[in-house]
Amino acid sequence: MRPFDRRSFLKALGALSLPAWFPRLAFSTAPDGPGSAQRDLLVCVFQRGAADGLNTIVPVGDSAYYANRPTIGIAEPAGGGSGGGTNPAIDLDGFFALHPALAPLKPFYDGKALAAVHATGSPDPTHSHFQAMDYMERGTPGSQTISTGWINRHLQAAAAAGDGNVSPFRAVGFGTLLQASLRGPVPATALQSIADFHLRGNAGAVQTFQASLASLYADTTWLDAQGVETFNAISALAAANPLAYLPRNGAQYPDTDFGLALRQVAQLSRAGLGLEIACLDVGGWDTHHAEGGATGQLATLLGDLAAGLAAFATDMGGQMQHVVVVTMSEFGRRVLENASGGTDHGHGNSMLVLGGGVNGGKVYGTWPGLAPDQLSSPGDLQVTTDFRTVLAEIVDRRLLNSNLAAVFPGFQAPAYLGIVQPAG
């Protein structure tokens, strides 16, 4: 028997908390197959906590918006009916406007690389964060009978079609836990930090770590195969030289978890490691109290979102022609502000789509209105565009996967909105 055998090692791991740098991988067997055409990189940003879509893409042309939000409403753009106010919204099309904290994204809207979708969301009426997020990440609103996530089902369908990508970095979820949308039989990696994964850039520590673990995974069992995959992943990240990455084109990422995650998506993409999917979480959007208007809690969150996305698009430069970023949240907020200067759980929401293949410069969707008889019970913005319609168009036209029945079972997408161009 080895002086320190694998059983003892695994038992020790079970009794102790793993250090922050230990690779947390979720590997599983993926089908083999020949190579296939390159797909866009999909970056999915989940705003956890139910973002206020009405104060993100502001319906300044709907008078009921201001009637319902006397203290947190965003002032009309300068030159609007009220002449604008302090820190006004940024006009998009005369009816909709951006929250002023999203100003870094306006050039991308003007450049036709950013689009918005309003009155979108899940057809399931739940106001439970847990249920709504779970349904959205499964891609099966109202049903939990399918255990896999919609992104993993996309990857399964692509693999079955013979795309041949078996990289451990094909799909990466940034955070401490793998996002539910990525869960399933196709390999996915939960990654907090490239530098942490790479033992903080210490090559000697990496070699020692690998040598120690290699002796524990020298057989031919399934567990040994997973160990080999882990070693390969560490080696691949070592080659990417995480501590030496410099953003391009003058891009400046915000010094936040979201900014760091986007910076690492850019780095992994440029490293040639086969990255196809990146999932990022941004929390804190449950603004029941002191939400604020043009400034305050929501404005801070939106400012981080905008600064990060703008830096990422700037850093990627011409490579954004093969990248699509989509933002989503489990549901929106109630139209009427509450007595605490915040908003309660609602229904309809807004989404953003950013990329070189986006038909930007437009707010998509059918606006249902905010008058009392136009609202969904109990005072929510109606959902007129199922979120799966937006995602299905991206999966089909940009990720080159037409097997939508496998990705969104039981859902028949209506005519596409035309948000993205067919990849070509």
Q: How many residues does the chain have?
A: 424
Distance CA 396, CA 421 (A): 10
Check residue 31 and report its DSSP letter. -
Could you read off the pLDDT of 84-118 as tens digits, one per residue? 568 999 999 999 999 999 999 999 999 999 999 99
Domain boundaries, the chain: 6-407
pLDDT above 50: residue 227: yes
What's the pLDDT at 81? Answer: 54
What's the pLDDT at 12? Answer: 41
pLDDT above 70: residue 3: no
Could you read off the pLDDT of 240-292 as tens digits, one per residue? 665 678 999 999 999 999 999 999 999 999 888 889 999 999 999 999 999 99
Check residue 210 and report its DSSP letter. H
Label residue 230 by pLDDT band (50, 70, 90). Answer: low
Could you read off the pLDDT of 39-73 as tens digits, one per residue? 899 999 999 999 999 999 999 999 999 999 999 99
Average pLDDT over residues 29-38: 41
For residue 209, the tally of other CB atoms under 10 A from its CB is 17
pLDDT above 70: residue 219: no
Label residue 6 by pLDDT band (50, 70, 90). Answer: very low
Q: Give the chain's mean pLDDT.
A: 85
Average pLDDT over residues 161-186: 89
pTM of the complete model: 0.85
SS3 label, residue 308: helix
Residues 180 and 152: beta-carbon distance below 8 Å: no
Domain 6-407 top-level CATH class: alpha beta
Label residue 187 by pLDDT band (50, 70, 90). Answer: confident
Query: What is Dmax (Cα atoms) for the chain?
Result: 82
For residue 198, the tally of other CB atoms under 10 A from its CB is 25
pLDDT above 90: residue 385: yes
Look at residues 49, 59, 150, 131 and name the one whose alpha carbon lies nearest to residue 365: 59
What's the pLDDT at 191? Answer: 85
Is-cis flag, bond preceding 168, omega within 30?
no
What's the pLDDT at 152? Answer: 97
Distance CA 198, CA 275 (A): 17
Could you read off the pLDDT of 296-316 as tens digits, one per residue? 999 999 999 999 999 999 999
What's the pLDDT at 27? Answer: 36
Average pLDDT over residues 132-158: 97
What's the pLDDT at 177? Answer: 86
Distance CA 318, CA 355 (A): 10
Among 145-154, 238-247, 385-394, which stretch is predicted with the lowest mean pLDDT?
238-247
Bridge partners of 281, per DSSP, are 46
Could you read off the pLDDT of 396-407 as tens digits, one per residue? 999 999 999 999
The residue type at 420: V
